Structure 1
């Protein structure tokens, strides 16, 4: 099969439109259409159903798209390896992690990484969905559980727990609860149990809501919970790693916390030799070690 036709087919299948594929390939719609017709004639099959809303792959088209997607992934991997040199760390690195960990722990530290590798381009994807690393949805993931896929290199970074925090000023003004039932006199700030989150945090919130707090503020991410706590809206459920960067947070109960949540860094086996991946991994590990040292000193 003609490699150029396959490249154009993949772009059309991915975009679902001749026009959009042509824009990305810098080809006219008619040129793209000719290439697709030529490929269909060569294979003797119809690859797309045409209708007013765009293009839909036929069964044969789905089979071919699966093959071209794998080809594109391997070509991307080859390009990444070619671009990784012994002397420089440069190019794009796609990193995915949970919204809370990404916004509250990782992003504030990235300036240190850029100071070491100013030519690095990080594409940071913050979402709770577990992205498929072997399919190159991302190069590196920091996940709140151990990856289940066997073809990943993984490293356990730390263990975290969700606990209740407030500011000193809030506790002085509103009074410090001595037990969970005392939350009935306070406003609790937490993530909605219905939104995607680690199960340990969800279970803790569900238990706390059984105490029927006087008032409730539910936010769909930990960044919002933290801002509400710092502005003395109430008592919030937050991950314990925040205490290193926000010393104004005071733990409310010594014996109320979620189950332990492991944090793993993972990347595909085939990226083991990538300079970008290794540089990012070493940076995160160094920052975690610094965090642990600060916590042990504080204790």
Structure 2
């Protein structure tokens, strides 16, 4: 038996068996209990946990199978991380078509959760850019899934949370970029009404859009829109190496007192109206502090995401 945690550090599963999968050509282990894939453990809640069942650890499925630098079509095993893909593709002028807020997730996990990113209003979810994948079922059946082969299985696997089978490899269409930089535009807003006005203006004009909102300060915040930049003589440098949050506090350091102080400083910090930014800190600001989930203490935390329409 093994213990397993989600990124929120709750719940903790103590009664799951594990099996490391390192060869995509091998059959699944015989088991009479439920099977579930577990990659880099960046999911929240119990999405990648399997209490009383068998966890298929997929991080060793980490091989690139094919990459065409002329078309940007990439095929890789499901345990390859988005960080691995960026390291390979970005120097050759390609980037992920959709990316979540961390690059330390597996390719299979991005498909199983059908992740979204800061260009959701333009590019849709991650699954819109998956050309094909292989699905290994618990009965030993292997399905090549694409728009023409088993399209129903492909649709069920995109966002299927690993419940349709083990994804062994994924073929993904990347997007062409000319530099590793973004041209960004920043606007402060005092409340949600101003947010909707800015979003109507900038969201329609730019590829990427994201906002930080101070929920303790009446809905004020900072709206940032961005587009991939053209080559320039002076490009922004890559971010410094990530720091590590090494302590494991007995209580959450994220509370009403610390949040109010942080939000006040963050909202008041100097922000340029526009400028160049390396794409890594724009897409992955929290990746600059590894193990930041420890700040919430040993009890962990829940993340809640929802969709809110503008008031009509």
TM-score by length of 1: 0.23
- Bigger CA radius of gyration: 1
Higher strand share goes to which structure? 2
TM-score by length of 2: 0.22
Higher helix share goes to which structure? 1
Higher relative contact order (CA 8 A, sep 6+): 1
